[in-house]
Amino acid sequence: MKFGACFFGWLTATGTAMLLTASLTAIGAGAGLGQDVTAGPASANAETVGLVGAIVLVVIVLVAYFAGGYVAGRTARFSGVKQGLGVWLWALIIAVVVAILSAIAGAQFNILGSLNGFPRIPINEGTLTTRGVITAVVLVLAALVGAILGGLTGIRFHRRVDHTNLDSTH
């Protein structure tokens, strides 16, 4: 496993996820403003909106980590599965570090929590927790599958080059 290649694969995955999320958010906001959508219909169909949002998020993570695994596999040249796994492990390591820093810093940097006018999601905490845990598990698995498939796809280029060079020498 080439940790440098995996790190840059993780950076690629993170950047891709951010760009895709921002693009889809802008498209959604533009469509909502163009259609003069209010919060009433969204609140009435909260389960559907939540399910569609979760599916879109899973697709974004799958595509982003596929791209990250591809970069790691292509950069490292060998063992695409290990490189994809390395991209996923970098994501876990960074998530644990951020969680530890958040626990240490506590509420000092919770800017949104200190704003009184910040809108709240009209879902009870029990439902949000159960669905949130299920969504988080699916996202973690989607990231793992995407990274490994991307790593395998990334090394295909080198396999074709190696076979071409071997075939031309005979």
pTM for the structure as a whole: 0.76
What is the pLDDT, as a whole number, of residue 118?
46
DSSP 117: T
DSSP 34-70: HTT--HHHHHHTHHHHHHHHHHHHHHHHHHHHHHHHH
What is the pLDDT, as a whole number, of residue 111?
56
What is the pLDDT, as a whole number, of residue 143?
95
What is the sign of the dihedral through the CA atoms of 123, 129, 135 and 139?
positive
- Residue where the block lists tokens 């879109």: 56
What is the sign of the dihedral through the CA atoms of 12, 13, 19 and 20?
positive
Rounded Cα–Cα distance for residues 78 and 38 (Å): 52
Rounded Cα–Cα distance for residues 55 and 49 (Å): 10
CA-based nearest residue to 149, from 18, 9, 54: 9
User: For every one of its 170 residues, what pLDDT tens digit does the chain have, with 9 covering 90 and above?
Assistant: 888 999 999 999 999 999 999 998 888 777 766 666 666 665 666 677 678 888 889 999 999 999 999 999 999 888 889 999 999 999 999 988 888 887 787 656 655 555 555 445 455 555 557 777 888 889 999 999 999 999 999 888 777 777 776 655 55
What is the pLDDT, as a whole number, of residue 148?
95
CA-based nearest residue to 139, from 59, 84, 81: 59
Residue 90's CB: how many other CB atoms inside 10 A?
A: 22
CA-based nearest residue to 135, from 52, 15, 68, 20: 52
What is the chain's length?
Answer: 170
Residue 131's CB: how many other CB atoms inside 10 A?
A: 15
